[in-house]
């Protein structure tokens, strides 16, 4: 799954779905940070920001709007999002503040604690079969279990239904990947995947709250929080944000875990395990920075403005490269360095009003995984590189083959 660096360096556009499939992309982004930190992509008609300071400021700049879609191709008409101001990811204030306030109770402390307990149980169960078979695709066998418990607990659905939503979400994110989607007709496949996932969510909602088969009981406040959400939201708002929470966490966490696993198994696992034990908080933050799973977000200019000496016209789209910002040489190194203090926090979850509402859930799930992984890493082997996902938005994988001694 590798090519020489010239392949990535001469790619027609960094916004093509194959950008992160080839080797050499890190050098391309580094050159942009050094020589062209605010650049125009003519193929997709978008401005791109590469440096940390520009990306961070763009997150905070209210002249840059989220309501017309934060993902390229995320809406069927290509110009504005059909869920504009009705879904967290594609809304501006005051709509965003309202939606965030309504959804915040899903992420309270007792829910995080229940998620921690349930996730550890699911990992333990999945690992038994995985080890018995001598390993296999870690992504499908173990890592896709990570987001199941929170989704089941938060929305009062069966774990099996939550697991199905995870699989459908993967198909949506991988719509342009030939192994998951359809590289020949990506737009049609994206529309189909959107419809499949939204239909599944609608059916679960119509069924009503179940008594989930999750081995851990949901906190008592969850039922009230869910009922209040449904009262305060229009039905389409509820469904759109159910989809938002599903896609927002169901791929990022498994891909983050996969990326870190591939890295660790090629290095001194004992040394990294000791580092994890010494400073879990710092280590966890470095995992999110170094993996930078969500590669970018998109904004649209509400008026003419200037960024880095470039004039952005009203209505033009601007791509904020989180991945590039997290490797800006002014603040970070290229290597995974959990014990080296960084002068700036990473931007993997964004910053400001649009900081990811599920960041704490992701931290809980990855913490569960790191405990699971480091207790077993000595028995794991890496037969080859993981298969990278064809996606410019999500730095993910389609498979993660790992050997494991019983």
User: Is the CB of residue 29 less than 8 Å from the CB of residue 323?
Assistant: yes
Please list the helix, strand and coil fractions of the chain in percent, rounded to the nearest 5, in that order. Answer: 50, 10, 40
Give the residue numbers spanning the domain of 122.
5-404
Helix (H, G, I), strand (E, B) or coil at 395: coil
Query: Which two tokens mark 256?
Result: 């983050």
343 CB contacts (<8 Å, ≥6 apart)? 331
Residue 11 pLDDT class (50, 70, 90 cuts):
very low
Specify the CATH number for the domain of residue 134.
1.10.630.10
Q: How many domains does the chain have?
A: 1
Residues in the chain: 406
Mean of pLDDT values over 62-74: 87
Mean of pLDDT values over 271-289: 97
Provide the 8-state DSSP code for 304. Answer: -
Q: What is the pLDDT of residue 211?
A: 53
Question: Above 60 in pLDDT, residue 89?
Answer: yes
| Residue-by-residue DSSP string for 314-356 | TT-EEEEEHHHHTT-TTT--SS--TTSPPSS---TT--GGGS-
Q: How far apart are the first and last CA of the chain?
A: 28
User: Is the CB of residue 153 less than 8 Å from the CB of residue 221?
Assistant: no
Question: Above 80 in pLDDT, residue 80?
Answer: no
- The sign of the dihedral angle between the CA atoms of 290, 291, 294, 298 is positive
Question: What is the C-alpha to C-alpha distance for residues 26 and 6, in angstroms, rounded to an integer?
Answer: 12
Using one digit for the tens of pLDDT, what is the confidence trace for 137-162? Answer: 999 999 999 999 999 999 999 999 99
User: Is the CB of residue 47 less than 8 Å from the CB of residue 40?
Assistant: yes
Q: Give the rounded percent of residues in the chain with a pLDDT score beyond 70.
A: 93
């Amino acid at each position: 799954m590798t090519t020489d660096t010239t392949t990535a360096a001469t790619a027609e556009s960094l916004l093509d779905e194959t950008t992160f499939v080839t080797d050499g992309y890190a050098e391309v982004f580094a050159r942009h940070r050094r020589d062209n930190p605010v650049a125009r992509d003519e193929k997709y008609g978008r401005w791109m920001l590469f440096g940390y300071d520009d990306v961070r400021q763009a997150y905070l700049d209210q002249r840059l709007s989220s309501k017309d879609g934060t993902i390229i191709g995320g809406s069927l008409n290509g110009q504005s999002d059909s869920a504009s101001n009705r879904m967290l990811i594609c809304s501006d204030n005051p709509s965003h503040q309202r939606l965030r306030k309504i959804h915040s109770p899903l992420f309270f402390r007792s829910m995080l604690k229940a998620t921690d307990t349930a996730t550890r149980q699911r990992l333990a169960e999945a690992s038994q079969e995985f080890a018995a078979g001598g390993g296999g695709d870690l992504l499908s066998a173990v890592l896709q279990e990570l987001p199941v418990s929170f989704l089941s607990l938060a929305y009062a659905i069966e774990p099996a239904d939550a697991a199905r939503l995870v699989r459908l979400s993967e198909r949506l994110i991988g719509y342009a990947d030939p192994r998951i989607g359809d590289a020949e007709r990506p737009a049609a496949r994206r529309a189909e995947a959107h419809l499949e996932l939204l239909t599944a969510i609608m059916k679960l909602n119509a069924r009503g709250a179940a008594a989930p088969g999750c081995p851990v009981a949901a906190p008592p406040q969850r039922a009230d929080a869910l009922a209040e959400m449904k009262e305060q939201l229009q039905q389409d708002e509820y469904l759109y944000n159910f989809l938002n929470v599903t896609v927002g966490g169901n791929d990022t966490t498994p891909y983050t875990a996969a990326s870190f696993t591939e890295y660790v198994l090629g290095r001194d696992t004992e040394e990294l395990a000791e580092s994890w034990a010494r400073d879990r908080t710092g280590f966890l933050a470095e995992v999110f920075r170094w993996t930078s799973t969500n590669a970018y977000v998109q904004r649209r200019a509400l008026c003419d403005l200037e960024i880095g000496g470039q004039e952005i016209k009203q209505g033009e789209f601007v791509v904020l490269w989180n991945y590039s910002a997290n490797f800006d040489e002014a603040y970070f190194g290229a290597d995974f360095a959990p014990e080296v203090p960084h002068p700036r926090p990473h931007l993997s979850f964004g910053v400001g009003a649009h900081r990811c509402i599920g960041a704490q859930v992701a931290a809980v799930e990855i913490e569960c995984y790191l405990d699971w992984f480091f207790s077993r890493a000595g028995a794991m082997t890496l037969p080859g590189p993981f298969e990278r996902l064809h996606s410019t938005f999500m730095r993910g994988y389609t498979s993660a083959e790992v050997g494991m001694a019983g």
